[in-house]
Amino acid sequence: MDLPLIWSAIIALGVFMYVLLDGFDLGVGILFPLVRAKRDRDAMMNSVAPIWDGNETWLILGGASLLGAFPLAYATLLPAFYIPIMVMLFGLIFRGVAFEFRFKSTLRWPWWDASFFLGSLVATVMQGILLGAFITGVPVEAIEAGNWRYTGGALDWLTPFNLMCGAGLACGYALLGATWLVLKTEGHLQRFSYRAAWWLAGLVAVFLVVVSLWTPFAHPAIRERWFSWPNLLYLSPVPLVTGAVVLALFAALHRRRETAPFVLTMALFALSFLGLAISLWPYVVPRALTIWDAASPRDSQIFLLVGVAFLLPIILGYTVYSYRVFRGKVSEGYH
C-alpha cells in the first residue's frame, strides 16, 4: 500500500473541499461592495453565516494533515511563503470576525462591511498568489539533518504570473459566490447575482485560457507533461471538457436555472484542480521534494489514516446535514 499516495489524495481532497466551500463564502465577501442596500447585504451574509466556520475548518485540516503526513513539505513551504500566508491570515481574521461584529455594530460608517469585503478579497488574492508561487516552485537547499531551507527572498512571490493567479482566483471565487447567491436568494438580489455571474464567467474563461497557456510556456517541465506524445492525447479531454462546462454555464445562466450554475462552477473548479494536479505530480514541493521524499514515517501515516477513514465520512455526514438544515432561500435572516 503506497501510503504517501493515499495521503496526497486525502490532502488534495481537503484542499479541494476548502477551495469549493470557503470559495463561495469568500466570493460572497468579494461581491459585497457591488451590492449597496443593507437588506441585501444582510441576506448575503446570512446565506453563509451558519456554515462559513465549517468551510474554513478545511483549511486548518489542510495545514494540519500536511504537517502530519508530509512534515518536510510543511516545514519547507510555510517559511518560504511567510508573507503571503501571514497576509492571508490577516484577511481571514478580519472577514471572520465580521460575521459576528457586523450585526452588532452601530457605527455610522460600515467598517465591518469593509472588513468583510477587504478581508475576503485579500485572503483570496493571497491564496491565488500562493497557488502561483507553488506552481513556480521554490528554491531550497538541504541543511542539517533532514532539514530543508528556503533560499529565495522574502518578496520572491511578487511576480506577474503569481499576481495574475491572484486576480484569476478572485474572479473564480466571486463566480462561486454569485452562483451560490443565485441558489440562495430571490428577487432583485438574485437578478444581480445572475448578471454578476455572467460577467464573472466570462472573466474566469479568459483567465483559464491565459493560465493554461502561460503555465506551460513558463515551465518546461509542465510543457513536457502536457504536450508530449501520447500525453497530449490522453490529457486532451481535460481542456475540452472544461470548455464544454464553460458553455453549459453560460447556457444555464441564460436560461435562469437556479442550481445548475453553482454545480457547473464547482465542476469548473474540479477540472482546474485536476489540471493542476496533472501539471505538478508527483511533487509536494514542486521540483524539489516528491511526496515520497517528504512523507512522515509509515507509522505516523497509518495512525492518522485510521482516524481519517473512520472520521471523514462522519464529518461529511453532519456537514451535509447542517447544509440541509439551512437549505432553501435565505429569508428574514437568522441574526
> Smaller CB distance to another protein: residue 57 or 212?
57
Among 20, 45, 85, 121, binds another protein (CB under 8 A): 85
> Smaller CB distance to another protein: residue 210 or 305?
305
Taking the C-alpha atoms of residue 243 and residue 35, their distance in angstroms, rounded to an integer, is 30
Query: Between 231 and 270, how does the x/- string for binding to another protein read (CB under 8 A)?
Result: ----------------------------------------
Query: Between 32 and 51, how does the x/- string for binding to another protein read (CB under 8 A)?
Result: -----------------xxx
Segment 296 to 335, residues that bind another protein, using CB under 8 A:
296-297, 299-300, 303-304, 307-308, 311-312, 315, 318-319, 321-322, 325-326, 330-335
| C-alpha cell, 97 | 470576525
Long-range contacts of 99-106 (CB under 8 A, 24+ apart): 99/45, 99/49, 99/52, 102/45, 103/42, 103/45, 103/335
Taking the C-alpha atoms of residue 131 and residue 150, their distance in angstroms, rounded to an integer, is 17
Segment 101 to 140, residues that bind another protein, using CB under 8 A:
101, 104-105
Residue 232, CA distances (Å) to 219, 239, 279, 280 in order: 16, 11, 12, 16
Rg (CA), the chain: 20
> Smaller CB distance to another protein: residue 144 or 160?
144
Of 33-41, 67-75, 124-132, 271-279: span binding another protein (CB under 8 A): 67-75
Please tell me whether residue 292 binds another protein under the rule CB under 8 A: no
Cis before 282? omega within 30: yes
Please tell me whether residue 92 binds another protein under the rule CB under 8 A: yes
Among 59, 121, 175, 288, binds another protein (CB under 8 A): 59
Which residue in the block uniquely carries the three cell numbers 468551510? 55
Segment 137 to 156, residues that bind another protein, using CB under 8 A:
144-147, 149, 154
Would you say how long the chain is, in residues? Answer: 335
Number of residues that bind another protein (CB under 8 A): 71
Taking the C-alpha atoms of residue 115 and residue 92, their distance in angstroms, rounded to an integer, is 10
